[in-house]
Structure 1
Amino acid sequence: MLVNQSIISDIKTIVAQSKDKAIRSVDHHRTLMYWDIGKRIFEEEQEGKDRADYGKYLTEYIANELEPEYGSGFSKRQIELFRQFYRNFPITNTLYSQLSWSQYKLLIRIDNQDKIAFYIAETVKNNWTVRQLERQIYSSLYERLLLSNDKENVLAVAQNEKQPSDAKEIIKDPMYLEFLGLKREASYYEKDLESAIITHLQDFLLELGNGFSFVARQKRIHIDGDEFFVDLVFYNRLLQCFVIIEIKTHKLTHQDIGQLQMYVNYYDRIEILPHENPTIGILLCANKNDAVVKFTLPEEQKQIITSQYTLYLPTEKQLLDEVNKELESFEEKDSD
């Protein structure tokens, strides 16, 4: 008898999905258990708040009583995490079943409520893994978006309260490409950087931001008998437009901007459909001169964006210094 072979793949899919749901359910109940433990510890701590060092004594006492029976998951460090978990998330119905305990452990370390809300929203919306969330936190995604946007706008886009209307709301400057594994002291040809991006395409899409999908590499276009090759072409479903990326390993020049402008004009006039928005062009460069960009392009234009890339992650202090520098420049403009 002939059997439809798709039945096997369908059953395997059902089994895999059920296993995934079961794992998520178990992890969520474990997270709730840790929250309940943290709540109970906090309540007990409040009873003895007039006694010096009671909190430290309490966590040590609980760990000594429970760790021999339940293992290292109830060490003093873990008990302190449970307590901090409850302190950071005191309302149980604000906990997300989509987030694992490992992800909550990353969020507990953040001391800014707006930042926590941002990373929760992005994790739920994009279904980030633990590794992806960790990478975004350590690459200071929130601070980088603040360099070109205000806090309320960044949170609104993350929480789906508004759709991005400007490419700068989701495209970061600088972009951190540490996942390419290239040594920062070495010099590279543009094709080397492009090949590394294609090899690590999933990580690059994560760095680009929400809504991006890959379209083409070295896209050939013909203009009146001449051939040109666009480095990378993406599409963004949130912005509903093509996004062209040109890679430059040297310091940005006005010729680079002109080249990208030509590619953007070509896509706008030849490739896009009537319902799609104007093409965005990103010059991903090793070093840029904002003044050259300013005087090469028309004022108030929003289609060409420059983003400097770096091959290593910054320290938190470096990012905060950049944010503060940007805020100071905004304040100076406002005072003018």
Structure 2
Amino acid sequence: MLQNQSLIPDIKSIIATARDKAIRVVDNERTIMYWNIGKRIFEEEQQGKDRADYGTYLIKFLAEQLQPEYGSGFSIRQLERYRQFYRIFSIASALRTQLSWTQYKMLLVIDNHDKREFYIAESVKNNWTSRQLERQINSSLYERLLMSSDRDDVLAVARNEKQPSDARDIIKDPMYLEFLGLKRESSYYEKDLEQAIITHLQDFLLELGNGFSFVTRQKRIHIEGDEFFADLVFYNRILQCFVIIEIKTHKLTHQDIGQLQMYVNYYDRVEKLPHENPTIGILLCANKNDGVVKFTLPENEKNIVASQYGLYLPSEKQLLEEVKKELENFEEKKQ
């Protein structure tokens, strides 16, 4: 009988770590190989620039020569992708070893330079998997953050050049919770939505933003003999404060805002330590009237945020319409 029961788990952990490292090394070498192939194709293409169709001919010729021996990774489509890879990331030292080839393929289809740089910075900073990066691109994270902040601020926070100063720098509006698996045509209670969030906590933390960790659910608050229950409590290490989330499956009312304000006040006066920043409250609601939010809260209130949630991802057209609407509102306020 083994004297040390941790021997097997320890060895399994060593094997898993070595395998993961080997996979990353192989993937990084593969990424560099594709970059070098793209570079060589581009250089050869430039020599025949006086022939308009030379690039097309070259890719087709290479595919015919390489694919039979090396497989589908050297098809016309893939070779064109390697050339594009080099053209977008033309400096080898700029390649991020933390990113896999699968992630680079997702980034190649993003035409906007700032948008691509944002996803690169966020992927590296948060150690996103390929699946997480895909989800954030598909849920239009960059555009949603632009609705509440300007381009330079969004990029600065992503690159760690600036620390968020208030809740609106990191909390998205709207939030998309398609990963919960709740159908929008179904009838459900707030406790159902809360339970679904707990079940899919990792995905919800990703949607919430950077620096969040879960503290508790249904936090009991005693106030002179009365009991109240805050739905979800998180802590944000970047902002160094508690974050209380109240879930409302109906259209937001001023009473909902008042209830959350009471929970925030309680945390500030009872739970918060002296070195911590004021508590943030998020009302996660099915629908809201921004005017009601504006006139219920004091002017310049930064610690209560109403964020509308969606149970499905928007189409690109819907998202562009929302961005256009936000920009128009912003211009009206400036005038």
TM range (shorter): over 0.9
**Which residue does 1:170 correspond to in 2?**
170
Superposition deviation, residue 114 in structure 1? 0.7
- The equivalent of 1:90 in structure 2 is 90
Deviations 1:38-64 (A, max 9, x none): 011111111112212222221111111
Measured in 2, the distance between the counterparts of 1:17 and 1:7 equals 15
Q: Does 1:129 align with 2:129?
A: yes
> Matches of 2:332 and 2:261 in 1, distance apart?
31
- Deviations along 1:59-89, whole A, 9 cap, x unmatched? 1111111111011111111111101101110
Deviation at 1:2, TM superposition (A): 7.6
User: Which deviates more, 312-321 or 214-223?
Assistant: 312-321
**Cα deviations by residue, 1:112-132 (Å, 9 ceiling, x for unpaired):** 111111101110111100000
Check if 1:58 corresponds to 2:83.
no
Quote the offset at 1:14 in angstroms: 2.7
Moved more, 111-120 or 6-15: 6-15
Report if aligned partners of 2:194, 2:247 keep a CA contact under 8 Å in 1. Answer: yes
What residue is the counterpart of 1:223 in the other structure? 223
| TM-score, scaled to structure 1 | 0.97
Distance (whole Å) between structure 2 residues aligned to residue 304 and residue 281 of structure 1: 5
Alignment of 1:38-117 (within 5 A): 38-117=38-117
Q: CA deviation at 1:9?
A: 3.4
Partner of 2:250: 250
Cα distance between partner residues in 2 of 1:211 and 1:257: 25
Separation in 1, partners of 2:2, 2:127:
39
Q: Is the 8 A contact 2:102 2:130 kept in 1?
A: yes
Which residue does 2:188 correspond to in 1?
188
Correspondence list, 1:294-309, <5 A = 294-309=294-309
Counterpart position of 2:328: 328
- State the AA in 2 paired with 1:147: M
- AA aligned to 2:218 is Q
Amino acid at match of 1:259: Q
Whole-angstrom distance in 1 between the partners of 2:16 and 2:300: 50
Shift of 1:3: 4.0
Q: Give me the whole-angstrom Cα distance separating, in 1, the residues matched to 2:320 and 2:60.
A: 36
RMSD: 1.3
Q: Distance in 2 between the 1:2 and 1:255 partners?
A: 62
Distance 1:85 1:49 in 2: 19
Instruction: Find the residue that maps to 2:73 and give its secondary structure.
Output: helix
Deviations 1:201-241 (A, max 9, x none): 11101100110011111111111111111111111100101
Q: Which whole-Å CA distance do the structure 2 matches of 1:188 and 1:285 have between them? A: 13
Tell me the secondary structure at the aligned position of residue 55 of structure 1.
Answer: helix
Identity within the alignment, %? 79
CA 121–255 in structure 1, closer or farther in 2 if over 3 Å, else same: same
Match of 1:254, as an amino acid?
H
Aligned residues: 335
- How far apart are 1:4 and its partner, in Å? 4.1
Cα drift, residue 324 of structure 1? 2.1
* 1:141 maps to 2:141: yes
Contact conserved, 2:166 with 2:303, CA < 8 A, in 1? Answer: no
Deviations 1:299-318 (A, max 9, x none): 00111000000111111222
Cα distance in 2, alignment partners of residues 167 and 55 from structure 1? 50
Secondary structure at 1:215's aligned position in 2? strand
- Does 2:9 match 1:9? yes
Aligned counterparts of 1:311 and 1:234: Cα–Cα separation in 2: 21
Residues 95-122 of structure 1: CA distance to partner in whole angstroms, max 9, x if unpaired? 0111000000000000011111110111
Q: Equivalent residue of 2:286, what SS?
A: strand
Question: What is the CA distance between 1:18 and its match in structure 2?
Answer: 1.9
Taking structure 2 as the reference length, what is the TM-score of the superposition? 0.97
Letter in 2 for 1:262: M
* Stretches of structure 2 lacking an aligned partner (at least 5 in a row): none
Q: Give the letter for the 2:202 counterpart.
A: Q
Which moves more between the two structures, 48-57 or 164-173? 48-57
Distance change >3 Å, CA 2–CA 67, structure 1 → 2: closer
- Give the structure 2 partner of residue 26 of structure 1: 26
